[in-house]
Structure 1
Amino acid sequence: MALESEERPNQSITKFESMLKTDDVYFFDAEDFEEIIHHYLNHGKIALAKKAIKIGLQQHPDSTALKLLHIEVLVFENNLEVAEHMLDELQLLETSNEEIYIQRANIYSKKDNHEAAVSLLQEALTISDECFDIYSLLGMEYLFMDDFKMAKESFMKCVSFDEQDYSSLYNVIYCFEFLEDYDGAINYLNEYLERNPYCEVAWHQLGKQYYVKRMYEKALTAFDFAIISDDNFMGAYYEKGKVLEKMGKFEEAIENYETTLALEDPTSHTYLRIGRCYEKLGSDDMAKHHYYKTVHEDPLLDKGWLVITEFYYRKEEYAKALHYINKALNIDGDNPDYWNKCGKIHVAMCNFDEADLAYKQAVDMGSYDLETWLSWASVSQRAENYNAAIEILSQAQELFSDSSEIAYKKAGLYLMMGDKINGRIGLMKALKQNFTQLHLFQKEFPQFDGIGWIQQLIDASRKASR
């Protein structure tokens, strides 16, 4: 079994490193070499591990354990053919060594043949007295296969072997979450907590499940128990702050967020949340103070620049909003949401050419939501470039053929141009498509209310829709 990474080197390791510095050759037991190799592997010192393996096999050429460690390193370095050949030779001598099956499974996993890896690991289970590591490997293989139900069951077995195995506990909850079985996760965690009532990790995970289900009071209780179990548990304070924020208890939320800042190095996301809380409380100066701290802490956090942009946009300080959305675009110029926001700001400033360019960029970057197309068409409409607006809406209809919003807007634009033929055809199609959305046309184009032929079309469509 591998040594824990934090364990200090023992006498064998000190002796081995001393040997490497001289021309002397010291003799070690095979078990000593195993210990030395595990130490280097746990510390990521692959070159030293390989030296220990080489010398170890020179002194103990028949050691199966050392050969398997050699194979483990070969697999790690993707020397799979050599590793397989060595395994073939070993298996002729030892047919009941589960580590041979495990290393073969690792090779298949490296080759993305996870079904074969699972089959080998299940064989290893039949001959192994220590199943913990095998179930952990099985769980990972099932995750690779997107079989979250089997992965969950495998990691549950790991937890049943060692209830302090928090890595497996996290994986169990991850599987529950992916399966969207939040009730199952809650039941599992409550049962676990009956046996381990002071496990801050389990309380923390339980609180997150309640949060997803919007059971905020229960989530608060769970996070409080996590904090009671470990009053330095930064994650519990942060998640508690999120719950309080959802409940509108912004001052309490700020207190919890600030506690996280005292416990660990400050993060831009925490400053961002504090700023939002202050803004909800109407304390604009404190909100701005923390928003600026957000981008000071992480200048590359595009969300930080965006939240400052939105702050000034809401305050109708459009020049400042434009300055900061450009900061966000400089960081992530491929983000369609930022181009959308940029377009809205230019519209507010009556910069229609710039707004047109921004919405075009948003579409080019993959923003295919209907609102983007309608906003883009409205820019050309406000600039009285009705042909361009109609062209934009025609493109949009290829994506949203059932949209009555597009149909009514397009009909109105034809009428704005004085094109009564296409206006009439377009309005007839829109009325037939969705008569109940007529109010969209009447609201945007009130100048056409009361026109005889239009009213006749509406009356006829009203009768037909009954």
Structure 2
Amino acid sequence: MRENPYREDREELKELLRQYQNLKNGRTHTFLEEDAFERIIDHFDEKDDLPEALEAAEIGLSQFPYSSQLMIKKADLLLATRKYREALDILETAELYDASDLNLYILKTDAYLALDQQANAIELLETALSLFEGEEKIDLLFELADVYDDYEEFDKVFDCLKLILETDPSNEEALYKICFWTDFTGRNEESIRLHQQIIEEFPFSELAWFNLAAAYQGLKLYEKSIDAYQYAVAIDEKFDYAYRNMGDAYLRLRKYKEAIEVLEKVLELTRPEDVIYEAIGHCYHRMENYAQARFHYKKAVHLNPDDSKLHYKIAVTYMLEEQWQPAIKQLDNAMRIHRTVPEYNLAMGECKMHLKQYKDAIQYFGSVVRHKSKNVAGWEALIRCLIKAEFYDEAVEQCMAATKATDGKPVFLFYYSTILFIQGKTKEALLKLETAMEKAPKHLKKFIELNPSILQNNQVVDIVARYKKGKKL
């Protein structure tokens, strides 16, 4: 056993380079074998000295003109210097002497792709698959998968990865890649069958369990996906992506407490991310724990201050607690980033309206209907605000404009009727109410909310009762 093999190799290479320089300069030198030239080429290549490496390849080929290995080395260097056609020519020659070298096919593929000849690359690799077995075949399948990706034949990418895993079920690269392509192609059922087979052979493969879970998740079978993720994290308790996806599955099932638990595990295992804090905030929000929701939304904002949606979500938690001023502050932040988003303007209008700042509120609601003329919620908010501000004539005009803009949505008949009642135009108001009840009785609640005392009017009660009796409201 050599005491210092690294030092000996270095000395050997140094001697080879000295003899090579002697050869170049026409001085006396020891005969250099073919593999010596390969080492010299690799040396210059590793030093990124491509011209010197290419010269060494040419000198080597002048000494060994039938060496397919040196031809392949030269072709690799030509590809690196973007001389794709020259590379192809020399690879064609190399193939005549030795067609069994895997690198030959991989380099030819690279050349075809560089020349935008994907069809030739695919044909070459598909033919080559029959020539190789084991690891070499797997390498070719990976290469073919990349070509199919470039060629946008995405189902065939999945097919290649599936073939790799059928040959080598524990191939980590294929296990990582097939998860993405399962989701992208939607071939979840096939992925489930494939990974169930892998798990039978390798029950402690956390990647196989993860992929199985992801495929179940793709089919919205969230309970099954959670079970599979739990196996994955039992095998690898630091598998943060499994916890992350499990959190999403719990969210879909509206199991917010469990979602929070696994998402907090993600924060323990990885660098903090705004999306995780946002997801935890969403869970607390749905559990009506608005203080905790805000706490986590604010952590998300700290990591991503330019996400206007996060500022908006904080504002909504304040609005749900009727804290209008803090909500306005957060909405200001959101609107400094994206001013015309309808949801932000709608929320700001609501805050201003509750603070009785009606003119400001009308301005924000007006912005919503200007930018989204078919937005029913925007028109409703504007008309409600005009009624509260006692701008009745303007409210009538906006009812008519809203009806026209939204292709005759009947909800605005109820608003119109309300205004007419307030203005004392009872006969006209009753006719509008009757028409509204005939078209969309489900909106009656909005009519009553605008003016609860209206139910003291016997004629209104008669219309509602008559409709209930006749239409089984």
TM-score calculated relative to the size of structure 2: 0.68
**Residue correspondence of structure 1 range 178-327 to structure 2 within 5 A:** 178-211=184-217, 213=219, 215-244=221-250, 252-278=258-284, 286-327=292-333
Q: How does 1:386-425 map to 2 (within 5 A)?
A: 400-401=406-407, 403-406=409-412, 409=415
- Cα 1:378/1:251, change in 2 over 3 Å: closer
Alignment partner, residue 183 of structure 2:
177
Using the alignment, how far apart are the partners of 1:144 and 1:33 within structure 2?
A: 31
**Equivalent position SS for 2:227:** helix
Partner of 1:56: 53
Contact 2:260 2:280 in 1 (8 A): yes
The aligned residue for residue 125 of structure 2 is 124
Measure, in 1, the Cα distance between the counterparts of 2:151 and 2:39.
Answer: 37
SS in 2 for 1:29: helix
Deviation at 1:193, TM superposition (A): 1.9
Partner SS for 1:220: helix
For residue 323 of structure 1, report the CA deviation from its aligned partner: 1.0
Greater CA drift, 287-296 or 85-94 = 85-94
Q: Distance in 1 between matches of 2:112 and 2:149?
A: 15
Offset of 1:376 from its aligned partner? 3.9
CA offset at residue 57 of structure 1?
Answer: 0.6
Cα contact 1:102–1:134 (8 A) shared by 2 = no
Rounded to whole Å, the distance in 2 between the matches of 1:91 and 1:425 is 88
Deviation at 1:198, TM superposition (A): 1.6
Shift in CA distance, 439/317, structure 1 to aligned 2, threshold 3 Å: closer
Q: Could you say if the C-alpha distance between residues 145 and 121 of structure 1 is closer, same or farther in structure 2, counting changes exceeding 3 Å? A: closer
Task: For residue 179 of structure 2, give the secondary structure of its aligned residue in structure 1.
Answer: helix
Per-residue deviation, 1:194:
1.9
Shift in Å at residue 230 of structure 1?
A: 1.0
Give 1:152 shift.
Answer: 1.9
Greater shift in the superposed pair: 315-324 or 174-183: 174-183
Q: Which residue of 2 aligns with 1:44?
A: none
Alpha-carbon offset, residue 318 of structure 1: 1.1
Q: Which residue of 2 aligns with 1:152?
A: 158
Cα distance, 1:220–1:444 mapped onto 2, change above 3 Å: closer
Q: TM-score, length-normalised on structure 1?
A: 0.69
> Is the 1:442–1:449 contact (alpha carbons within 8 Å) kept by the matching residues of 2?
no
Q: For the residues of structure 2 that align with 1:379 and 1:156, how far apart are their CA atoms?
A: 60
Could you say what secondary structure the match of 1:266 adopts? Answer: coil
> Is it true that 1:103 corresponds to 2:110 in the alignment?
yes
**How is 1:348-427 mapped onto 2 (pairs within 5 angstroms)?**
348-362=354-368, 369-385=375-391, 400-401=406-407, 403-406=409-412, 409=415
Q: Is residue 66 from structure 1 mapped to residue 69 from structure 2 by the alignment?
A: no
Q: Are the structure 2 counterparts of residues 255 and 162 from structure 1 closer, same or farther at C-alpha, using a change threshold of 3 Å? A: same
Identity across matched positions, percent: 19
Amino acid at match of 2:264: E
Equivalent pairs, count: 426
Task: Give me the whole-angstrom Cα distance separating, in 1, the residues matched to 2:201 and 2:368.
Answer: 53
Partners of 1:377 and 1:389 within 8 A in 2? yes
Q: Secondary structure at the match of 2:278?
A: helix
Kindly state the Cα deviation for residue 153 of structure 1 after the two structures are TM-superposed.
Answer: 1.4
Q: Distance in 2 between matches of 1:171 and 1:281?
A: 36
Gaps of 5+ in 1: 1-7, 41-47, 110-115
**Partners of 2:235 and 2:202 in 1: CA distance:** 11
- Going from structure 1 to structure 2, the CA distance change for 1:325 and 1:60 (only over 3 Å counts) comes to same
Q: 1:269-324 CA distances to partner (integer Å, 9 max, x unpaired)?
A: 33334445556667665554444333334434444433322221111111111111
Match of 1:341 in 2: 347
The residue that corresponds to 2:28 in the other structure is none
Query: RMSD of the alignment, in Å?
Result: 5.0
Q: Is the 8 A contact 2:57 2:74 kept in 1?
A: no
Q: Secondary structure at the match of 1:338?
A: helix
